[in-house]
């Protein structure tokens, strides 16, 4: 069955981070994801997971200098050593938190990049992802890549589904899989159900949000009941990450998730 994970980087932000685990469990979520665990020790996070009875389902590799605007280093020529270190650190946390998969953010392409620059980013990306997947495979983990819309993240290197599928094929490692964020796909391409059908065997994780405001899934232009129905027909039995900014009261905004076990007040 489809299980919902609360994205603690966006949900329950009225609480300090470590209190969000209990809030998510109280609301009926059975897993959590968030951007980065690195501000806390693995032991601290494992205690929060155990106390709340939640599973850790995803987090990101260290992204470079996030505050300075960097959004990952996986495709950045010259940052290969940093990327390899980020893989080691992320896998250390993944093992400690029993987290099955980690997301390698691609990074930004320079303003006005020419074709040779794009090719250099692509070659770096493929080589880095192959390394990451092989290291992760030694520990029974998956590495994910996610096309991200360029309205929210201008110049993000991976922005379309066909680009992601070409990278997955070129890297050729079975544990390198797709993080399919329906919010991003709707903004960039639409045609959600057909993309789900065509790419289904490569999907390692799904994320949802309303479009265009990135609020609750039932706020906006995407009719998620139809998407979930198709996912069930396709046999999707993994996690769906709820990566959205609540429009109002977090708990009241959970009514959409009642069919999946969420407990709105
Ligand atoms: O920005 C997003 O949608 C992400 O999932 C980053 O990991």
The region, left, alpha or beta by phi > 0 then psi within -120 to 50, assigned to residue 114 is beta
- Name the burial class of residue 240, with classes exposed (0-12), middle (13-18) and buried (19+) by CB atoms within 10 angstroms of its CB: buried
The values of phi and psi at residue 191, to 5°, are 55, 40
Is ligand 1 within 6 A of the CB of residue 121? Answer: no
Give me the chain's average pLDDT, please: 97
Q: What is the pLDDT of residue 1?
A: 82
For residue 200, name the pLDDT band (cuts at 50, 70, 90).
Answer: very high
18 alpha carbon – ligand 1 mean position (Å): 20
* Minimum-distance ligand 1 atom for the alpha carbon of 153: 1
Cα 181 to Cα 124, 147, 247: the distances in Å are: 23, 8, 19
* Minimum-distance ligand 1 atom for the alpha carbon of 152: 1
148 alpha carbon – ligand 1 mean position (Å): 7
Is ligand 1 within 6 A of the CB of residue 33? Answer: no
The values of phi and psi at residue 142, to 5°, are -110, 155
Domain annotation for the chain: domains and CATH numbers: 3-260 (3.20.20.150)
8 alpha carbon – ligand 1 mean position (Å): 12
Q: Which two tokens stand for residue 88?
A: 């080691």
For residue 252, name the pLDDT band (cuts at 50, 70, 90).
Answer: confident
- How far does Cα 108 stand from its chain's mean position? 17
Does 151 have pLDDT greater than 80?
Answer: yes
Q: Within 10 Å of residue 9's Cβ, how many Cβ atoms?
A: 16
208 alpha carbon – ligand 1 mean position (Å): 11
pLDDT tens by residue, 112-149:
999 999 999 999 999 999 999 999 999 999 999 999 99
CA-proximal residue: ligand 1, atom 2 (nearest): 148
Handedness of CA 66, 39, 86, 148 (dihedral sign): negative
Is ligand 1 within 6 A of the CB of residue 206? Answer: no
CA-proximal residue: ligand 1, atom 1 (nearest): 148
* Minimum-distance ligand 1 atom for the alpha carbon of 60: 7
Question: What residues are annotated to the active site?
Answer: 146, 243
Q: What is the pLDDT of residue 264?
A: 87
Q: Given 3-state DSSP classes, what are the helix, strand and coil percentages for the chain, each rounded to the nearest 5? A: 45, 15, 40
Is ligand 1 within 6 A of the CB of residue 142? Answer: no
ipTM higher than threshold 0.95: no
Does 6 have pLDDT greater than 90?
Answer: yes
pLDDT tens by residue, 201-233:
999 999 999 999 999 999 999 999 999 999 999
35 alpha carbon – ligand 1 mean position (Å): 7
Is ligand 1 within 6 A of the CB of residue 146? Answer: yes
Q: What is the pLDDT of residue 251?
A: 75
Percent of the chain with pLDDT over 90: 96
Beta bridge partners, 31, equal 5, 55
* Minimum-distance ligand 1 atom for the alpha carbon of 35: 7
Does 265 have pLDDT greater than 90?
Answer: no
């Amino acid at each position: 069955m489809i299980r919902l994970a609360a994205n603690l980087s966006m949900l329950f932000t009225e609480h300090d981070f470590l209190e969000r685990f209990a809030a998510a469990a109280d609301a009926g979520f059975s897993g959590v994801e968030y951007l980065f665990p690195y501000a806390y020790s693995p032991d601290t996070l494992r205690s929060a997971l155990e106390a709340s009875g939640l599973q850790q389902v995803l987090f990101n590799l260290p992204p470079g200098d996030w505050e300075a605007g960097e959004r990952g280093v996986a495709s950045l020529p010259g940052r290969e050593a940093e990327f390899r270190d980020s893989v080691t650190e992320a896998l250390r946390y993944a093992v400690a938190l029993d987290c099955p998969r980690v997301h390698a953010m691609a990074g930004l392409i320079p303003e006005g990049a020419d074709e040779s620059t794009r090719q250099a980013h692509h070659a770096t990306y493929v080589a880095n992802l192959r390394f990451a997947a092989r290291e992760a495979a030694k520990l029974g983990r998956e590495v994910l890549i996610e096309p991200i819309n360029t309205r929210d993240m201008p110049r993000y290197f991976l922005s379309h589904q066909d680009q992601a599928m070409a990278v997955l094929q070129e890297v050729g490692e079975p544990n390198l899989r797709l993080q399919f964020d329906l919010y991003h796909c709707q903004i960039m391409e639409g045609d959600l159900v057909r993309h789900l059908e065509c790419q289904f065997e490569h999907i390692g994780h799904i994320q949802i949000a309303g479009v265009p405001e990135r609020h609750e899934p039932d706020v906006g232009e995407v009719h998620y009941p139809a998407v979930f129905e198709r996912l069930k027909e396709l046999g999707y039995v993994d996690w769906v990450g709820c990566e959205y900014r609540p429009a109002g009261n977090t708990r009241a905004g959970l009514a959409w998730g009642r069919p999946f076990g969420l407990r709105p007040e």
